[in-house]
Every structure is written in C-alpha cells, then in structure tokens.
Structure 1
Amino acid sequence: MGFRIRKSINLGGGFRINVSKTGIGYSWGVPGYRVTRTAKGTTRKTYSLPGTGISYVDETKRHNRTPVSLENRPVDQPSLEEIESASIQQFQNVEAQQMTRAIERSLAINRLANMFLWAIIFTIFSPLFLGLFFIGVLLKIYVGTFGKVKLFYECDEKYMQAHQRRINAWKTLQASKMIWQVTQKGKTLQVKTNAGAQTIVNRIACRINQKPPLYMRSNVEIIRVPLQKEELIFLPDQVLIRRNNKLGSIDYDQLQITVSSVQFVEDQTVPGDATIIGYTWKYVNKNNTPDKRFKDNRQLPICLYEQIHLTSPSGLNVVLQCSNQNNATGFEIDMTKEIH
C-alpha cells in the first residue's frame, strides 16, 4: 500500500486549494454546491442537501486535443470588410433639423421607458422597482400619443405620384421570397474549399416594414427598411436614417441606386423564386469535379440573385440581395424614374 499525501488550504470566501501527490487543484463553492478543478484536469461539480448527507457528483473528463485531419482542418479565414454607412453626423440636413430633433426627443423618452419597464424583474427585491415600472408604462403611453411627430404632406399630384411609385417599388421588392442585407465582403484564396467562390460575404435576412414607427404619424404611406445598424425611412420628400437615437436625412436627388446580377453559391435553403443556373460542390477541383478527399462533400446550387446598392455622396452605403430578378428590375425602374 502506497502513501497518500493530501492537504487542503482554505483561502476564505468559499475558495480552497487542494495539494495532493498528483498535483495542485482548486475549488470554490457555497453550502449545497461546489466546483472542483482537480490536479488531473477534470472538473467536478458536487450538488448536496446540507444536513441530509444526500449529494450528487458530476465529473467531466479531461478534453484531449483532437488531431487535425483533412476532413476537419480549418479553412482560411478571409479578412472581411464591413459594408456600412458613414457616421450619422454626415447626414445632417438643416431643413430637416426641427423634425429630426423632435423625433430624437421621442426616441430618448422611449428608450428611458424601456429601461424603467425592465424594473418589473427586480420587484422581488424591493417594491420600489414597481414604481419605476409604472413610470415606464406612463412614458410609453406618452410616446404613443402626445410624443408622436405628426407629418402631414400637401403635395401636387405629380409629387405624390412619385412618392407612391417609390412605395410601390419597395412593395414589389417585398414580394420576393427572400431579401438579405450584405454586411461583410472579402476575398478568399482557398477557392477549392469554398465551392469555387472567390468572394465570401456575410448576410442577414431583411424584411421591409410598411407600418409607421411608434414615434411618427403621417397622412401618407411610409416605408421602413430595418438594417443591422440603422433603419431607412422613406418619406415623400426625403429618406430618414435612424441609428440608435440619432437621425439624419438625405434628399432623393442624392440617392443613387444600382442593380446588378450576381452568382451566389447557396448553402442555405434556396428561395422558391430564385433562378438556379448550375451546380457546384462544397469542395471542388479546378475542373469542377468533386474533391473526393473530403467527406460530406454535398452538391450546392448556383443561384442568380439581384444585388441592390444604395449609396449617396454623404456616405450612405447599403447592399441588399434579392432572390427574384423581376422584382428587383421593377424596383430599379420605379425608384429611378424621374418626375415629368
């Protein structure tokens, strides 16, 4: 029988260092629960009912590093460039300052209301938080009634026709099965392990909203396009840009729209209105044949999407993708048609 050496050093606050023959471990806990990191590298969690002698021990095994093989080796991580607009200060319009400031006040009150509404969670600690919660409710009611910025337009027939045409353009685009916002883009050298694609993009789903925002009321239709870092609001005379609680605006004569076709290797579900122009493989050779060295080398469709680029001299930079080619073409025509 061998000798066993074990010593425990209590550091206070529930912390303890355990010195044994195999090495040094440490643990932390409170009555009923203790986490131990053993000298062997395993983690042990002990649950107990104090005073009863009943306990449960859950010990995880030490994780060994998995050798890298051809099937699970990491591919290159290209440096992706953010596709984003300029600072909100670049979109200040002197003529729209009074309106944007009124909206910013409503947004600030609404944000404060949201913070107070979260107080309902802490009422279990003190009834004082219930008062904050009711203040939040009152502020929400204020923003939804008296805090709304009222926009009423009296325009000639041609002007309103132009606005309605832009509204219809977004509605046409909305009829597509999928709309995405492209948030990042970059080049890759590992074409073989990226289905033959030379450009890698990150994108998120984008949904067009026809309801006016909480802080606004108008006698005309309004289109909102929520994006990752901002929201575009299309009014008859200008495009508002909301980023957090700050607003800017650009005139329509500054808005530039470019629509072009792009080939996209789709590794997600293919939208029902997409055009498939061919197929490739997840891991592909130079002659477009599948690389048989890789497992799970599935076939991927190559879709023809439409890419919509919204820009302005002041720094607007938004890239959208649309699954329906016809809808994107109609969108471009209606958005760029001049008033006669």
Structure 2
Amino acid sequence: MGLRIGTSLRAGPFRLGLSTRGISMSAGLPGFRIGSGPRGNYVSVGIGGIRYRATIAGGGRRPARRTTAGAQVPSNPPVGGAVPMQDTTGRDAAALDPTGPGDLVAQLNTAQARHLLWPWVAAGLFVAMLLTAVVPPLAAAILLAGPFAVAWVWQWERAKRTVVAFYEVDGAVADWFGTLTNGFPALGTLGGAWRIQQSGAIHDTHERKVNSGAGNLVTRASARFALAPPATLTTNIDVPTLSCGDDALLFLPDRVLVRSGKRWSDVTYADLRVSADASRFIESGPVPRDGRQVDTTWQYVNVKGGPDRRFRDNRQLPVMLYGRLEITSRTGLWWIVDCSRLDAAQWLAGALRPPMAPPIAPPRTQAPLTQHRAPAVQTAPRQQTAPRQAAPAAFAAPGRRGPLFAYAGLLSRSPALRAHAGPFAVIDVETTGLCAAAGDRIVEIAIARVEPNGRIMEEFATLVNPQGRDTGPVFIHGITNDAVEDAPRFRDIAAEVVRRLDGCVLVAHNAAFEERFLAAELERAGLRMGPVPALCTLWLARQVMRTPNHKLSTLARHAGIPMPDAHAALGDVRAVAALMPRLFALQRDALGYPCPPHDSVALRLPPTTPVRPRTRAAGIRRGTDGWMSSILARLPMSAADAGDADAERYLSCLSDALADGRIVGDEARALAGLAGSAGFGSTQVAALNQRFLESMREAAFEDDVLTVDELKQLRAAAAALGVPGYFDDLRADEAPSVAAGRQAARQRRCGNCRTPGHYRSTCPELMVAR
C-alpha cells in the first residue's frame, strides 16, 4: 500500500488539492462537482450516500497508436512492447537554429511568449461582482460592463500576439508558389495522412509473428494538409500548411516556418531535402477511401507467413501502398509523413523545389502591436490584415514577349499596342509536373474559341500520351496512366492545336505556365511559331478584382461561376471563358496586344492524317438532372464522328444500362469511359442517345399498338437520357387500322409544336425564340 500525503484549500465553491501525485482543482455545489487532476478531468455526482464519478474524454494528449511499418506494416498493438523505438521527429523549433532571412522568427516567438491577460481580467470581474453582491447597483454595473471590458482586452491582446507579414513575389517564384498553393487543397482531400513519430526494427521472431510478419514498428499520428496558418501569423498570401497536433510546417515563398507548440524556427529551401518513396503498410483499422491495396496478410502469422492456427480470432489484414514523404534539413528538421496516395507524396516532393531565382527580399513584417503602435491601430487590428495586391508574374507583365506569347497591355500606356475585337482562344493544359524544362509533359489540353461576351463557339479537348512518362499527380487532375495509353501524342495533334489559334488572341489563367509547356511541346514536334498575342486573366484579375487570392476557383466563386470539374482542362477553360467578359467589364482602359493574331497558313504546316481525340467526362455526378446530363455537360461540344464499331459498343452498353429503366453510377462511368475512348463529344453522344430512343420507338410499334407499360418504358428511358419530353407526342392504346395511320403514329413528331418531320431540338419556333 503506497503512502499518500496531501492537503487541500477551500474558497467557497472552489477547492485546490496538493498531494504527492500532483495538483488538482475542482468547483461545484454539494452533490455535484467538476474537477481536473493528475488522472484527468472528471465529473462527480453524489446524493443519499451514493456517489458517481466519470472521466471526461479529451482531458489530455492521447498517445499515438502503435503500428508496424517497413516492408510490411500492420497497425495492431505489439505484444509485450519488446521492440525498442527510435524517435523520428528530429529537433523541435526550440532547438532548431533559424536559417531564413529577416527577424520574422524572432517576432513570432516574442508574440507567442506573451501571457494571456483576459482570463485574469474575467476572473477579477467575477470576484468583484461576488464581493459587491450586497450593493445591487454596483454589481449590476459590473455585470453589464464586464463583458465589454473582457472583449476589449481580448481584442487588444490578440493584436499584440499577431505578426503581420506582407509578401510581394513575382517572376518564376510567383508561378511556382501559385502552383503549390493551387495543388495543396487537393492534398487536404486525401483519405489519410499520418506523421511517423517513432520507429523500431523488429528482429525477434516472436515479435514478427504477432505483428503480422512486419519488419518495422512505428508510432504515428494524423497529419493534415491545409491553406490555414496559425492565427499568430497573418499574411496577404495563402500559406500551404502541413500540421500534426501542435507541430506544423508552413511553406512560404522564401522559407519554411517550423512550429513546435509555442516555439518557432525556419529553414530555407536551399537547406531543405525532400524525397518521396513507396511504403507498404498493413492496416488493421479503417482503410483510406483512396488507398491502393496491393496484398493481404494475417494478424498473427507463422514462420512461413501463413495464418497462425493457434489464434482463434486471427483475421486477414490489407497491405496498402502508401506514399512516404521525408522532409529533412542539415539543421535537424525531420518529418516523415505517410500519404494514402503515392502520387500525392511524389507531387509534393517535386513541388517543394522552387526554381533557381534571385533571393526574395525578406517580407515586410509588423512586430506585435505592443512595440510603439498608435492606440488607434491597437483597437483596429483588422485594418492591418487586409490583403494587398501582389505584383504580377514577370512573364505575364504588360507588353512583355516571352518565348511564345506576347502579352496584353493597356492602350492608354502604350499606343504601339493593337486593339483586338475577338475572337479569343481560351486554353488550359494538365501536366505530369511543374517544370517543362525538366521534361514534364502535357497529358490533357483543351481549347475553346470564345467571343468577347463569353459565348463559346467551338471546343477541342483531348488527353495526350506523355510518351513513357508517368501522368504525375493523379489526385489533382484524375488522369491515370491507363487513360492516356491510347491517347494521341502531342506531335499528332500539334497542327490541330496551331490551327485553332488562327485569328485569335490566346487567353489563359497564369498564361506563363501554359506558355512554357506549349513552347516545349511545339519544339519537340518541330513547329516554330512567331509570337502569339496573349492575355493572362491572372494578371487582369489582379488589376480589377479584390479577392483574398486570385486562383481561378476563388475568382469563379466570387463571380458566381460554377466549377463542377476543376483541374480538368475543359472545365478550367469554360470557367475562364465565363470569367473573361466580367473582367473586361471591370477593366476601364482598353487592352492592346504587341502583335497581330496568329495565322497558321504562314507556317506552311505539312499535311497530317486526322487523329481521333481521346475525350473524357471528368467528375461526373448524378445531381438533379441525372447521370447522362452530367456526362454531356463535361464532354466537349463536338469531337470525332461516331464510327460503326464505337457506336455499337456504346449502344450495347446503353441498352444494358437501361434494362431496368434507369442509369446508376457504375453504368454512367462505363458509358462515359466508352464515349471518351471513342473520342466523342456531347453532340455525338446526344445523337447516339436519340438513335437509341428511336429504336425503342420502332420496337414499341411493331404490333401497331402502344400500351401503357410500353409508354412508361419509353418515357423512363427518355428521362434517364436527359430528354424527359422526347415522347410527349405519343399516347397509349393507339392502334391505327390502315398503313398510313400506322406510319403517322410511328413518325417522330416535335415535342413542342407536334409537327412531324423534325425534332424538338430543331423546332423552328424554339430556334426563333433563341
């Protein structure tokens, strides 16, 4: 029996306990008490000699779950705990020497070290109210004024504990950082991410058997990717943040901030080392929704790797293929993060390598607002956090000529520029990586010919075979290696791409990115083009729109433009086309271009064999209009004509899908895949759908009678294909007695005017109304 020594102090409903086990505090009334002590938080209820005590969850930091890692990694708890574990978290920020420029780290540490005053103010006002309870007017005054005083102190203190940093980044670094921030939200949608905190090799045979045959044991904790830095730092840019509990890495344009609890440090990108590799992990808990299972094992194995029959509750466990990201520095930083997708880890490892560029000037920071700040600023800290407009990228600067594009400028500032009334060619590409100079390739391209009012006249979209390279960040663009296997190479479609720029000003969001990849691909294809007039909507948006940032998704949301399939080339092109006239309306000065529109005839392009594109319907959803409407909305307006074999395959799949009168998710994805592999656009798919409905009409009138059930089937099929009024001209129980009558009943009538000989889509009345 152990010896326990303790005492307690009481003050009204409050009690403070001191003992050899630690300090405890509690408050309450007779029969009910809430407290906190060495054993955690608890609530105690007692009445009539019966006492009930329960522990409140979340009272302390939960230990990370022990899992096994290495060649094969299960997540079941080890037996006996005989595996020696090594810490893999490296130095924390308190022991990590800062290497970045400026005094940003010192200001953050100073701000974070300040003690909170508002809880003491609130406690003091509460005690004062209790002491003045005998004087009701005074107690009422404290009760009314107290919350305002506490709120003022809290706001004043918050301003003191905040460091404000303004960044102005341009050139290649701005393009790189924009790509990093654009891709970071997709990392936040991963099925799982974990930081490895401890690791230990398993050498003992018994430990290996009871840990699913794994060669390594780890302790891990959930990690999170987000664009949400801690409140201590306020800046005018998005900050990609990787966090795990109280620790975090903040990726800024000039450095990586390291946070460990309340301590801060930093590491320059020159000192940063990032690598990604595959990791096999044996999961005993929930499997990530986007994880890839590559094998199975048993919770308890024998020496041969099979199931150990001595354990009755032995079960199979999945072996998952994860991406392991390792971030280190020469100063002692060490983060090991497992991602549920290997391509996500590989993308981030590549994205954390900024281009070689002149050093960025340290950010203009404001120290915590206690250092010689005017009272007006102290009471209105929100005025200091308003976002500033960053400088445009150097390659998209007004009037600048890049390797392929000549960028727009303002006519009022440069009379040498030429006006352009339209049309415009909006372009977007999806790529295997971020650097065209390093060999990254285009895997999808979309071009839309657009009028100045935003109306799309024609569209072209296709996947592109990167010729042996991996498609890269599938978790962002959704394009797998299998999807591009039969896609055309860029050199096969280069002439088609060039011809679609005839007479147009090229438009893109962050056009410098498209320029580098187009220039590299055209050079590989042996095509040399003169300068093409171009407009960067990122540059234009920075001139006329004040939004938290100028990513395409943010601008679209601000303008009320839907983006159901972001990071698909065609979806981004349509968003830019819809955004373009709104930017023109906000831009008061006329735009001009340094050179005339492109003319492909002058290039004397060699004759080429027509190539069938490989289209795709990205991110289809049932929505309120059904699966088929979603497929049609995500395909280009028109593409390759339907060949007999491709048409028959599509119609056969459609017949199987509509056997029960409706289309479900897997059936819709199969139809979208067939349409994409055949290179169909929405026009071709709609024509095949109409052909299928007409065959159903013929089958229904084979016996010269249209029954109620047959009419229901026809209308159900039409509704599933997104044309619910297609059979509005039919009535049940029609049995014409003469051949002419039968022919009239079979003949397709317009669903609008009931006139035979044309369809609703080509009805003259509706065409006039349009």
SS at match of 2:242: strand
Higher RCO (CA 8 Å, separation ≥ 6 residues): 1
Match of 2:278 among 256, 261, 264: 261
Q: For the Cα contact (< 8 Å) 1:119–1:133, is it kept in 2?
A: no
The residue that corresponds to 2:167 in the other structure is 153
| AA aligned opposite 1:170 | F
| Cα distance change of structure 1 residues 101 and 273 upon mapping to structure 2, 3 Å threshold | same
How many pairs are equivalent?
276
| AA aligned opposite 1:218 | T
Deviations along 1:273-297, one digit per CA (max 9) or x if unpaired, are 1111111100011222211111211
Query: Distance in 2 between the 1:107 and 1:133 partners?
Result: 25
| Cα distance change of structure 1 residues 196 and 248 upon mapping to structure 2, 3 Å threshold | same
Report deviation, 1:133: 8.5
State whether structure 2 residue 196 is matched by structure 1 residue 182.
yes
The residue that corresponds to 1:96 in the other structure is 102
Report deviation, 1:253: 1.1
Deviations along 1:34-72, one digit per CA (max 9) or x if unpaired, are xxxxxxxxxxxxx774xxxxx5599xxxxxxxxxxxxxx
Query: Distance in 2 between the 1:127 and 1:224 partners?
Result: 48
Q: For the Cα contact (< 8 Å) 2:89–2:197, is it kept in 1?
A: yes
Query: Distance in 1 between the 2:131 and 2:348 partners?
Result: 54
Moved more, 202-211 or 162-171: 162-171
Give matches, 1:104-253, under 5 Å: 104-109=109-114, 111-113=115-117, 116=120, 119=123, 137-145=151-159, 147-188=161-202, 189=204, 190-253=207-270
Query: Distance in 1 between the 2:336 and 2:122 partners?
Result: 35
**TM-score normalized by the length of structure 1:** 0.70
Query: Distance in 2 between the 1:243 and 1:85 partners?
Result: 11
The residue that corresponds to 2:90 in the other structure is 85
Query: Distance in 2 between the 1:138 and 1:281 partners?
Result: 60
The residue that corresponds to 1:42 in the other structure is none
SS at match of 1:221: coil
Query: Distance in 2 between the 1:119 and 1:48 partners?
Result: 30
Q: For the Cα contact (< 8 Å) 2:111–2:160, is it kept in 1?
A: no
Structure 1 unpaired stretches of 5+: 1-12, 14-30, 33-46, 50-54, 59-72
| Cα distance change of structure 1 residues 283 and 162 upon mapping to structure 2, 3 Å threshold | same
Match of 1:301 among 314, 318, 321: 318
SS at match of 2:323: strand
| AA aligned opposite 1:234 | F
Query: Distance in 2 between the 1:180 and 1:208 partners?
Result: 10
The residue that corresponds to 2:335 in the other structure is 318
Query: Distance in 1 between the 2:264 and 2:50 partners?
Result: 56
Q: For the Cα contact (< 8 Å) 1:116–1:136, is it kept in 2?
A: no
Give matches, 1:252-291, under 5 Å: 252-291=269-308
Deviations along 1:109-161, one digit per CA (max 9) or x if unpaired, are 3x5247548849x8699669x99987764443124446532211222221211
| Cα distance change of structure 1 residues 331 and 112 upon mapping to structure 2, 3 Å threshold | same
| Cα distance change of structure 1 residues 118 and 107 upon mapping to structure 2, 3 Å threshold | farther
SS at match of 2:317: strand
SS at match of 1:95: coil
| Cα distance change of structure 1 residues 106 and 192 upon mapping to structure 2, 3 Å threshold | same
Query: Distance in 2 between the 1:57 and 1:89 partners?
Result: 48
| Cα distance change of structure 1 residues 233 and 227 upon mapping to structure 2, 3 Å threshold | same
Q: For the Cα contact (< 8 Å) 1:169–1:335, is it kept in 2?
A: no
| AA aligned opposite 2:171 | E
SS at match of 1:328: helix
Q: For the Cα contact (< 8 Å) 1:117–1:133, is it kept in 2?
A: no
Query: Distance in 2 between the 1:94 and 1:311 partners?
Result: 15
Q: For the Cα contact (< 8 Å) 1:143–1:215, is it kept in 2?
A: no
SS at match of 1:106: helix
Name the structure with the higher helix share. 2
| Cα distance change of structure 1 residues 287 and 136 upon mapping to structure 2, 3 Å threshold | farther
Q: Which has the larger radius of gyration?
A: 2
Query: Distance in 2 between the 1:293 and 1:143 partners?
Result: 63
Report deviation, 1:168: 3.5
Report deviation, 1:78: 1.2
Percent of aligned positions with the same letter in both sequences? 24
The residue that corresponds to 1:334 in the other structure is 351
Name the structure with the higher strand share. 1
| AA aligned opposite 1:92 | P
| Cα distance change of structure 1 residues 229 and 245 upon mapping to structure 2, 3 Å threshold | closer
| Cα distance change of structure 1 residues 318 and 56 upon mapping to structure 2, 3 Å threshold | closer
Report deviation, 1:205: 0.9
Q: For the Cα contact (< 8 Å) 2:100–2:268, is it kept in 1?
A: no
Q: For the Cα contact (< 8 Å) 1:86–1:315, is it kept in 2?
A: yes
Report the RMSD for the aligned CA atoms in angstroms. 3.4
| Cα distance change of structure 1 residues 309 and 115 upon mapping to structure 2, 3 Å threshold | farther
Report deviation, 1:335: 1.9
| Cα distance change of structure 1 residues 335 and 118 upon mapping to structure 2, 3 Å threshold | farther
Report deviation, 1:106: 2.6
Moved more, 130-139 or 272-281: 130-139
Query: Distance in 1 between the 2:196 and 2:90 partners?
Result: 12
| AA aligned opposite 1:325 | L
| Cα distance change of structure 1 residues 124 and 117 upon mapping to structure 2, 3 Å threshold | closer
Query: Distance in 1 between the 2:47 and 2:171 partners?
Result: 77
| Cα distance change of structure 1 residues 144 and 160 upon mapping to structure 2, 3 Å threshold | farther
Query: Distance in 2 between the 1:125 and 1:288 partners?
Result: 71
| Cα distance change of structure 1 residues 94 and 182 upon mapping to structure 2, 3 Å threshold | closer
| Cα distance change of structure 1 residues 199 and 115 upon mapping to structure 2, 3 Å threshold | farther
| Cα distance change of structure 1 residues 94 and 218 upon mapping to structure 2, 3 Å threshold | closer
Query: Distance in 2 between the 1:322 and 1:291 partners?
Result: 31
SS at match of 2:116: helix
SS at match of 1:180: strand
| AA aligned opposite 1:112 | L
| AA aligned opposite 1:253 | A
| Cα distance change of structure 1 residues 126 and 219 upon mapping to structure 2, 3 Å threshold | same
Report deviation, 1:169: 4.6
**TM-score normalized by the length of structure 2:** 0.33
